[in-house]
Amino acid sequence: MAPKVLISDKLSDAAVQIFRDRGIEVDFQPDLGKDKEKLAAVIGDYDGLAIRSATKVTEKILEQATNLKVIGRAGIGTDNIDKEAASKRGVIVMNTPFGNMITTAEHAIAMMFAVARQIPEASASTHDGKWEKSKFMGVELTGKTLGVIGAGNIGGIVCDRARALKMKVLAYDPFLSSDKAAKMGVEKVELDDLLARADFITLHVPYTEQTANILSRENIAKTKKGVRIINCARGGLVDEEALAEALKSGHVAGAAFDVFKTEPATENPLFHLPNVVCTPHLGAATSEAQENVALQVAEQMSNYLLTGA
Ligand code: MLT
């Protein structure tokens, strides 16, 4: 019998086609992931579950997933899956770490430009017919120091793009070797050094016990006055309350956030502050990246379900 896969989030049609071409029966129900009860009622019928971020694969869902062999996350983060509960049941969890890295790095660079030149506020003011030419004085990126926290797949691309913008790049990443840093043209530094020297700080680490609150109140206080902070990685890496206070006091000159401690974020200490640019977790939201991750997850899951590899 052909294995059965449920797609319970919005995933490109190309993924559905790949499953079908590989002889896998596929149910595409892009809104099902938002309905925990309905998902729990049907999950027992499937060998594979393909998701993005809306579906939360909790222990309760897994208890009903008696035939499930693999969960494929079309994207990088797997924080919406209870991995411990999955592995207890022998369910493999796979992600697609490469498909959206360029898109996410580009969003971080876009956010850096946006906060350096106050583009969202200037745009809103111009739409309002105000023509406030002298209100929006920005800063150049050329010659500025960018501190990159986490220089892996996405952070590494950010380093490369920032160097092309003629920025000096400092990287804090315990996994980055000095050789690799030299090849990338970045200076490997300790966190305190980065905090003290960077004009812009951008985060590119997953949310783990080690990275949670990495920009804590104490660490925000160690940053250079006038720093601008960009987070397109994960909510919870930055103390949002402390950052809001530092923005109000003028110690931090601006912030650009795509991710928030609680998502969907309908309220947040950073909202409505004048020098803060916010987007709703759009880091991976390009047609190219969504196509890439959908194709990759469908290929990987098909391989696993058909060959065990
Ligand atoms: C990811 O983990 O791939 C990104 O944060 C994108 C997303 O969650 O949609």
Report CA dihedral (31, 34, 37, 40) to the nearest 10 degrees.
80
| pLDDT score at 257 | 99
Same domain, 196 and 233: yes
Nearest atom in ligand 1 to 234's CA: 5
Same domain, 56 and 133: no
**How deeply is 108 buried, as exposed, middle or buried, from its count of CB atoms within 10 A (0-12, 13-18, 19+)?**
buried
Domain around 135: 101-278
- Angstrom CA distances, 278 to 120, 133, 250, stand at 9, 22, 18
Q: Are 95 and 76 in contact (CB under 8 A)?
A: yes
| pLDDT score at 308 | 81
Query: pTM of the prediction?
Result: 0.94
**Between vectors from CA 154 to CA 152 and to CA 160, what angle results, nearest 5°?**
90
Same domain, 111 and 8: no
Q: Is the CB of 219 under 6 A from ligand 1?
A: no
| pLDDT score at 1 | 85
Per-residue pLDDT of 9-28, as tens digits, reads 999 998 999 999 999 999 99
Per-residue pLDDT of 78-112, as tens digits, reads 999 999 999 999 999 999 999 999 999 999 999 99
**How many whole angstroms from its chain centre is CA 129?**
35
Report the residue among 52, 93, 100 best suited for mutation to probe ligand 1: largest number of ligand atoms under 8 A from its CB.
100
Nearest atom in ligand 1 to 293's CA: 3
Catalytic residues: 234, 263, 281
- State the average pLDDT over residues 206-224: 97
Same domain, 93 and 237: no
Q: Is the CB of 302 under 6 A from ligand 1?
A: no
Q: Is the pLDDT of residue 61 over 80?
A: yes
Domain of residue 86, CATH code: 3.40.50.720
Residue-by-residue DSSP string for 96-113: -SSTTHHHHHHHHHHHHH
Q: Is the CB of 77 under 6 A from ligand 1?
A: yes
Band (pLDDT 50/70/90 cuts) for residue 77 is: very high
Same domain, 17 and 158: no
Report the residue among 281, 286, 296, 297 best suited for mutation to probe ligand 1: largest number of ligand atoms under 8 A from its CB.
281
Same domain, 228 and 292: no
The total number of structural domains in the chain stands at 2
**How deeply is 140 buried, as exposed, middle or buried, from its count of CB atoms within 10 A (0-12, 13-18, 19+)?**
exposed
Q: Is the pLDDT of residue 302 over 90?
A: yes
282 Cα–ligand 1 center, Å: 8
Q: Is the CB of 100 under 6 A from ligand 1?
A: yes
Band (pLDDT 50/70/90 cuts) for residue 309 is: confident
Per-residue pLDDT of 34-43, as tens digits, reads 999 999 999 9
Same domain, 109 and 34: no
Same domain, 126 and 196: yes
